[in-house]
Amino acid sequence: MKHDNERKALITSLFTADPSAHVFNGKIYIYPSHDLNIPVADDDDGEQYMMEDYHVLSMDDLDAECIDNGLALSKDDVPWVDKQMWAPDAVYKNGKYYLVFPAKDKDGIFRIGVAESDSPVGPFKPQSDYIKGSFSIDPAVLVDDDGR
């Protein structure tokens, strides 16, 4: 089956990468990283990856228009984040939506944080600190058959 959106950019107003996608309440929600267009040369510290916030995209189905629902979470709202908010994931549990995201802390170490919302598009309110013992990127949340 071919869809109208096949091989077509879903959105052109933002540079996005590394999305996770979920269906909540019959609607598709896409959680990408958001790259700002800046003229910085590549380096070993990844300074060329200017990612300061997340937007949540949504679609009613695979053939529908993709909607940018606006700012969902900014680095300025997360006390421990310095820069590089990379590939997030999302999950729904107990009436809340959780955005799980990696970012560099003030010491330049990648950590994993969690933010909560009543809506799949945010805005998300971050926890005040990262998950202790996390030194990683690209989190993924698994909800097993038993709901845990």
In a domain, 137, yes or no: no
Average pLDDT, the chain: 89
User: What is the CATH number for 75?
Assistant: 2.115.10.20
In a domain, 5, yes or no: no
Instruction: Answer whether 96's CB lies under 8 Å from 146's CB.
Output: no
Count Cβ atoms below 10 Å from residue 75 Cβ, excluding itself.
20
Q: How many Å apart are CA 55 and CA 30, to the nearest integer?
A: 9
- pLDDT, tens digit (0-9, with 9 covering 90-100), for 48-71: 666 789 999 999 998 899 999 999
Looking at the structure of the chain, the number of domains it has is 1
pLDDT for residue 99 is more than 90? yes
- pLDDT, tens digit (0-9, with 9 covering 90-100), for 120-129: 999 999 999 9
pLDDT for residue 5 is more than 70? no
In a domain, 2, yes or no: no
pLDDT computed for residue 3 by the predictor: 67
Domain that holds residue 67: 15-126
In a domain, 133, yes or no: no
Amino acid (one-letter) located at 134: S
- pLDDT, tens digit (0-9, with 9 covering 90-100), for 75-97: 999 999 998 898 999 999 999 99
In a domain, 61, yes or no: yes
Dihedral through CA 135, CA 142, CA 21, CA 28, nearest 10?
A: -150
In a domain, 118, yes or no: yes
Percent of the chain, pLDDT > 90? 59
pLDDT for residue 117 is more than 80? yes
In a domain, 87, yes or no: yes
In a domain, 54, yes or no: yes
Q: What is the mean pLDDT of residues 122-141?
A: 94
